[in-house]
A and B are shown apart, each in its own frame.
Chain A
């Protein structure tokens, strides 16, 4: 799904997002960098999956990543303003809600269950199937036989 011109546009989008993030930080509007950062990071999974990204991939991990980190940062800022300068009245897992969001939301769910585990679960479908790998190895052997001088460094 992500190949050819679509991939080119995706990389240009990445460039524009980084430009936005840089300007937001430089002009002291760091909160304006949050959502572009989330999209920027999620896009790397899309780029990695490339042509193997299917509709389901846009739900998990791509959409789940954007939704979780978007909601997480929203709540982070909400509780930051609510308990600014006072001891928090509500604790999540015994922590300030913001700390709990970072640890459980960003780390456990966003980091492990979405970003990392998705690679394991979707490996055959969205990364590399056995059939594709075997075709690749076959081509490599053929290439090596034809271009002996090319493959030594």
Chain B
């Protein structure tokens, strides 16, 4: 009976999402500015919640509990420091992105890079680096979506991933970023409601936090290190956790699919509460990382369940131990999580192909042409992501891991450029080349030669971010392209009011 109800709920959910998104078509058809950036169309609540739900992807919904089950409390650093990054995003990017939206028609990160450094090379490199991230993340989303449909409907993981991707493509083609934000808002509400179910489910299964902690800590399979966020002093958790504190606190600051929502604010005053809604929304959704994994650890530790062979199945195992009503409630949240990030990635990728790469070669499309070509680009991206996700194998896992770091590394030159008039074009170009080389080349060395162990036991992308930061701070001390007196005219106006 539960399966039948889930199928009905899934069909109803699909119908609502399609209607909600198609109703945005009229707005999205107006031009590239609306299709790619939904410029100045939404208030802080809608855009903020969309930013929160885009930050918490389907991968987080499936992978987060799996990581918690596998590594214990160490994984808590991830959602917590990601929450901090919503605040830092506002302090660093809030005002600059809103101000630039008034000065010129910026829609993408590459637009910002081009305007700030007056460089098509910067635009091109940002576009290429971001497309790597988009494909890597989409590949991971396909797998996460596949797991979800596999668990519920019994279809294969590959078929499940493709079904969800195609559905996301349909509603994104109609609504572009306008539709994406509307759907994200709706999905954000559903996710928040499902969190209530997760909290109830956690107490239903474990009987309370104290009981869960003591049972896990005293079990032979897990033990005390699983309830301690640093774990055993001799294991690898300490450097990894501390590097997460460093990297993930920058988290959404460098994520274009979250920052693009800043363009959509209809009033500069919306900045005031955008980050608050986004940050609190994400913090609540972050409970997803903590509660299902801990519940399943408790089930295994107390002998009520056998140890899991595949940690990514933690969330489904959690569902299976809940009363039917709760299971269906959480199922809706799970469906929402799978699609919300994918649609934003599709739009970001489409804008890179249609706008960023064409502008790099001085080919400017009209606003209407951008929409038409943008929709074709969505199709190309989906096919590419499907091939990549299903047949990329080793490369998907590899780039999925490095995707977050690549996003931050690519965005850092732009973020620093808008906060520091001394940041130079030369530094930005060198930084983007470093990201391009490290995200592919070094990742292969990291995986193959070093077997995932960089010196110091921290991820390779942490070193990439460190290197990019050093270049962006110290190279401008010796170079002057598009910096200080050589700033483009628009940027002189910007800095006059920014500083």
**Residues on A close to B: CB < 8 A?**
3, 7-8, 11-12, 14-15, 18-19, 21-22, 25-28, 30-31, 33-34, 37, 40-41, 44-45, 47-51, 76-77, 79-80, 83-88, 91, 93-96, 98-99, 102-103, 106-108, 110-112, 114-120, 123, 127-128, 132-133, 135-137, 139-140, 143, 147, 150-153
The answer to whether residues A99 and B73 also contact, given A25-B462, A127-B95 and a CB cut-off of 8 A, is yes
Chain B residues with Cβ under 8 A from A28's Cβ?
239, 455-457
Chain B residues with Cβ under 8 A from A51's Cβ?
499
CA distance A95 to B364 in the complex (A): 57
CA distance A50 to B499 in the complex (A): 6
CA distance A12 to B416 in the complex (A): 12
Q: 17 pairs across A/B with beta carbons < 8 Å?
A: A11-B473, A26-B463, A30-B243, A33-B242, A44-B88, A44-B92, A47-B419, A48-B94, A87-B227, A95-B227, A99-B213, A112-B83, A115-B91, A116-B276, A118-B87, A150-B489, A151-B105
Interface of B is mostly: helix
The answer to whether residues A127 and B94 also contact, given A76-B229, A116-B280, A153-B105 and a CB cut-off of 8 A, is yes
B319 at the interface (CB under 8 A from A): no
Identify which of A37, A44, A116, A119 contacts B245 (C-beta below 8 A).
Answer: A37
Contact check, B242 vs A30: say whether CB atoms are below 8 A apart. Answer: yes
CA distance A79 to B233 in the complex (A): 12
Contact check, B246 vs A37: say whether CB atoms are below 8 A apart. Answer: yes
CA distance A123 to B91 in the complex (A): 10
Contact check, B224 vs A86: say whether CB atoms are below 8 A apart. Answer: yes
Chain B residues with Cβ under 8 A from A45's Cβ?
87-88, 91
The 8 A-B pairs of least Cβ separation, nearest first, read A115-B87, A94-B209, A48-B91, A15-B473, A94-B210, A116-B87, A87-B217, A116-B279
CA distance A37 to B246 in the complex (A): 6
Contact check, B91 vs A25: say whether CB atoms are below 8 A apart. Answer: no
Extra inter-chain contacts (11) besides given A116-B84, A139-B493, A153-B364, CB under 8 Å: A31-B238, A41-B84, A91-B210, A95-B227, A96-B213, A102-B76, A103-B80, A103-B290, A115-B88, A119-B94, A151-B103
**Residues on B close to A: CB < 8 A?**
73, 76-77, 79-81, 83-84, 86-88, 90-92, 94-95, 99, 102-106, 111, 114-115, 208-214, 217-218, 224-225, 227-230, 232-233, 238-239, 242-243, 245-246, 249, 268, 271-273, 275-276, 279-280, 283, 286, 290, 359, 364, 416, 419-420, 422, 455-458, 462-463, 466-467, 469-470, 473-474, 477, 488-490, 493, 496-499
Contact check, A87 vs B218: say whether CB atoms are below 8 A apart. Answer: yes
Contact check, B90 vs A119: say whether CB atoms are below 8 A apart. Answer: yes
Interface centre among B91, B246, B498 (most CB of A within 10 A): B91
Chain A residues with Cβ under 8 A from B225's Cβ?
85
A106 to chain B, nearest CB (A): 5
Chain B residue nearest in CB terms to A12: B473
Contact check, B276 vs A117: say whether CB atoms are below 8 A apart. Answer: yes
A95 to chain B, nearest CB (A): 6
A12 to chain B, nearest CB (A): 6
A133 to chain B, nearest CB (A): 5
The answer to whether residues A106 and B104 also contact, given A25-B243, A87-B224, A139-B497 and a CB cut-off of 8 A, is no
Contact check, B470 vs A19: say whether CB atoms are below 8 A apart. Answer: yes
B121 to chain A, nearest CB (A): 16
Chain B residues with Cβ under 8 A from A48's Cβ?
90-92, 94-95, 419
Identify which of A11, A25, A147, A153 contacts B420 (C-beta below 8 A).
Answer: A11
Identify which of B104, B275, B456, B463 contacts A27 (C-beta below 8 A).
Answer: B456
Chain B residues with Cβ under 8 A from A14's Cβ?
469, 473
A71 to chain B, nearest CB (A): 15
CA distance A64 to B94 in the complex (A): 22
The answer to whether residues A123 and B271 also contact, given A22-B466, A107-B83 and a CB cut-off of 8 A, is yes
Contact check, B473 vs A119: say whether CB atoms are below 8 A apart. Answer: no
